[in-house]
Amino acid sequence: MPISLTLGPLMFNWSPERWRDFYARIADEAPVERVCIGEVVCSKRLPFIVDLFAAAVERLQRAGKSVLMSSLALPTLMRERRQIDELIAVPGVMIEINDLSAVPQLGGRPFAVSPLINVYNEGTLAFLKRCGAVLACLPPEMPLSAIAALAPLAAGVTLEAWAFGRVPLAISARCYHARVRGLAKDSCQFVCGDDPDGLPVDTLDGERFLAVNGVQTMSHTYADLTGDAAALIAAGVSSFRLSPHSCDMVEVARIFREAAEGRCGPAEARRRLAAELPAAQFSNGFLHGKPGWRQLAAAE
Amino acid sequence: MTNGRIELVCPAGTPAALRAAVEAGADAVYCGFADETNARNFPGLNFSRAEMADSIAHAHRRGAKVMIAVNTFPRAGSPALWHQAIDDVAQLGADAAIVADMGLLDYAAGTHPALRLHLSVQAAAANPDAINFYVERFGVKRVVLPRVLTVAEIAAINREISCETEVFVFGGLCVMAEGRCSLSSYATSRSPNMNGVCSPPSHVSYAEKNGELVSRLGEFTINRAPRGTPMPYPTLCKGRFRAGGVTGHIFEDPASLDASELIPQLAAAGVTAFKIEGRQRSRSYTDAVVRAFSAALDAQARGAAIPVGMLAALSEGGSTTRGAYQKTWR
C-alpha cells in the first residue's frame, strides 16, 4: 500500500496572517497527500480564521491535496454544535471528526477519525466503519503491539499514526492559558496566541514536562516516529500524521516522506529534524509501551 | 428516582464496601470485576465472579441495584476478556453495565439486547448530539455526564436527550475530560483508557531533598512540601508546576468535588441520579459519605434545607470545590 502523509490540523492560536501564509506554503511546497484545516481546540479562535478557509481549501485542492475539515474536540455550546453544518457546506472536503457528536450530523458521508477519538480496538473501528469512517488516526498512546493487532482487522479503513509534533494528551473545559495569566476563560484576551507552540510546563525541579495550549494539554516532547516508520508500515499503518508547529513544516514533511520511503535512514532523519528544532526533545515512548516522553531505539 | 428521591449511586471496591453502602442508604452501587476491564483496576480491589454474584443477591434483597463498570477500552486483538465481562454482567443479573467503548457497546447491544446499558463518564459524551447518538445506536438508558459541564448546560442537555443523566456529586475530581486523557501514560506508560489506572502507586516515589518532601510520578516531580506538612497523593493533574512565570497548581488544586450544596439546582436540572466517586476508598469512608448524602437527598425530597459543609472532613486535604458546575471554574 502506498504510504501517505497527513498534515494534521493546526492546534495553536496563530494570527490570521500567519495562518494564511502557512497554508499557502503548504499548498505550494509540502509533499503531503492530505491537509486538515479547522479549529479543534477552542471555538473562540474560530472567528479569526473562518473567513480564510475557502481560499485555503481551494489553493490546497488546486495543488492536488485532499482537504479535511477538522471539527471541534469538545463542542458544548449550541454554536459549537452547529459548526459541522458549516464544515459540510465547504465543497469537496471530507470531515475529520474530533468528537462523536459529529457522526449523526454527517448522515453517512465518509469521514476521518481524529486521534482524539478513542479507537483502541477492532470492535470500535468496525462500528465507525459502518458509520462511514474511511481513515482513522489512532490514539497517540497506543503501542505498536496493539496497532499490529488492530491493522489486520481494519477492513479497509486507512490507519494513521501520530508521527510528528507535541502530543495532545488531554482536553478540558478549563483554559489553562487563561488560568496561568490570572484571567477568566470568558475574558481570556486570547493569551494562547502568545505561544505558537504551546506554553511550557516544568516541574518544581526544573524538568521539562508538558505544554498548555488553551484548554488542551500537550507533551513537552515532540513525537518523532521517523525511526519507527518501517516497523509501523510493516504492522499495517499506511499514513503518518504531522502536527503543525512553528518550525519549517515543509522540511519536516520532506524528512518524513524520505524516511517513510526508505530514502533517509533514522539517524539522518533525526539529525535533520533536530536541525529544524534545536531546542526540542523528541519521543517515541508510547509506541514502545513505555512512558510517552521517552526516546527509545527504533522498533524492529 | 426512588419514591421521588434522586437515586444515590455509590462506589464499592470490595464486597464489604458494597454492604456498607447498601446499609448506609445507597439506592444503587457500582463496582467492577477484578481485572483490567474496569477503570479502577487497583491491587486488592474489585470483585471475583462469585463475590459479584453474592453481592448482587445481597443488594437485591435490600432493594438496592448493582451496576457493573466495564469501562476501559478493549485491547486490540483480544476483546475476549471484555466480552466475557459483558456476558457475565448479563448472566449474573446485574442491573446495568457501565460501558465506554463503542465497540463494546455494539457487542453488548447486539448480544444482550435486554441488558441495561449506562454510558460511562469515560465515553466523554458532553453534548446532546453525542448522547442521543449513543441512545439511538446502542439503546443506552443513562449517561454519566463528564465533569466539564455547568449546571445550566446539564439542564439544557436534559431538555434535548431521551435518556437519564447521572452526575458526580462527591469525590476525586478529574480536571480533564475523562476518557480523553493520556497524561498518566505519558509519565508512567499506564493510563485510564488502556489499563484502568491513573497516576498508579507503582510509579509513585517520595524523596527528601533540602528539608522538603518531594513526590514523584515516574521521572517527574509532582509536588514538594516542607517536612511535617501534608503531602497529597501525586495525581498528575493536581501537582504543582511552573508555567509562564507562575508556580502553583497549574491544572487543578488538590481539592475534591463536593456538589452537595448544588443538590436542589441539579435536581431542578432534571438529573436522575447522583454519583459518588471512590471505589478505591475505605468502607468507613463509603459509609460516612453515603449516609451524609442519603440524608441530604431525603431532605431534598421533603423540601427541607440541605445541611451545609456536612462532608468537609472527608475531602482530600480538607478543601472542596464545586468544580465545573460553576462557570467560574473554567
Q: Which residue has the higher pLDDT, B316 or B192?
A: B192
Inter-chain touch A76–B246, beta carbons under 8 Å: no
Asked if the structure places residue A109 within a domain, the reply is: yes
Residue B8: pLDDT band (50, 70, 90) is very high
For chain B, the domains span 7-173+255-329, 183-248
- For the segment B203-214, what is each residue's pLDDT rounded down to a tens digit? 999 999 888 999
pLDDT of residue B318: 58
Strand B7-11 with A282-283, pairing: unpaired
CB A286 within 8 A of CB A296: no
Q: Which residue carries 488538590 as its cell?
A: B254
pLDDT of residue A170: 98
Residue numbers in A near B224 (CB within 8 A): 204-205
CB A94 within 8 A of CB A65: no
Residue numbers in B near A286 (CB within 8 A): 182, 185-186
Q: Which residue carries 514536562 as its cell?
A: A209
**Which one of 3.10.450.40, 3.40.50.1000, 1.20.140.10, 3.20.20.70 gives the CATH number of domain B7-173+255-329?**
3.20.20.70
pLDDT of residue B52: 98
How many angstroms separate the CA of residue B303 from the nearest CA in chain A?
32
**Mean of pLDDT values over B24-51:** 92
Asked if the structure places residue A95 within a domain, the reply is: yes
Asked if the structure places residue A174 within a domain, the reply is: no
Q: Give me the helices (H) in chain B, please.
A: 15-24, 49-61, 80-91, 102-111, 128-138, 151-160, 183-188, 192-195, 263-268, 283-302
* Helices A53-62 and A16-29, packing angle to 10 deg: 10
pLDDT of residue B2: 45
pLDDT of residue B224: 95
Residue B229: pLDDT band (50, 70, 90) is confident
pLDDT of residue B280: 83
Q: List Cβ neighbours of A130 (8 Å cut-off, separation of 6 or more).
A: none
From the list A42, A54, A45, A40, the residue with the least C-alpha distance to A14 is: A45
- For the segment B51-61, what is each residue's pLDDT rounded down to a tens digit? 999 999 999 99
Q: Which residue has the higher pLDDT, B148 or B161?
A: B161
- For the segment A68-102, what is each residue's pLDDT rounded down to a tens digit? 999 999 998 888 988 888 888 888 899 999 999 99
Inter-chain touch A200–B243, beta carbons under 8 Å: yes
Supply the range of the domain harboring residue A119. Answer: 4-168+219-288
Quote the number of domains for chain A: 1
How many angstroms separate the CA of residue B162 from the nearest CA in chain A?
15
What is the domain-level CATH number for residue A57? Answer: 3.20.20.70
Residues of chain A with pLDDT under 50: none
How many angstroms separate the CA of residue B3 from the nearest CA in chain A?
32
- For the segment B111-144, what is each residue's pLDDT rounded down to a tens digit? 999 999 999 999 999 999 999 999 999 999 999 9
Residue B1: pLDDT band (50, 70, 90) is very low
Asked if the structure places residue A182 within a domain, the reply is: no
What ipTM was assigned to the predicted interfaces of this complex?
A: 0.97
**Rounded Cα distance, A40 and A38, in Å:** 6
How many angstroms separate the CA of residue A299 from the nearest CA in chain B?
17
CA angle A199, A203, A207 (to 5 degrees): 90
Inter-chain touch A104–B328, beta carbons under 8 Å: no
pLDDT of residue B315: 57
pTM score over 0.90: yes
**Mean of pLDDT values over B85-104:** 98
* Cβ–Cβ contact B78 with A under 8 A: yes
Task: Strands of A2-153 (E only): list them.
Answer: 4-7, 34-37, 66-70, 94-97, 111-113, 133-137
Query: What does the DSSP 8-state code read for residue A199?
Result: E
- For the segment B294-315, what is each residue's pLDDT rounded down to a tens digit? 998 998 888 888 776 666 656 5
Task: Check whether B261 has a pLDDT greater than 70.
Answer: yes
Mean pLDDT over each residue of chain B, to the nearest integer: 91
* Helices A122-131 and B102-111, packing angle to 10 deg: 80
Q: List Cβ neighbours of A115 (8 Å cut-off, separation of 6 or more).
A: A137, A138, A139, A140, A162, A168, A241
* Cβ–Cβ contact B106 with A under 8 A: yes
Phi, psi of A237 (to 5 degrees): -80, 135
pLDDT of residue A47: 93
**Mean of pLDDT values over B30-45:** 88
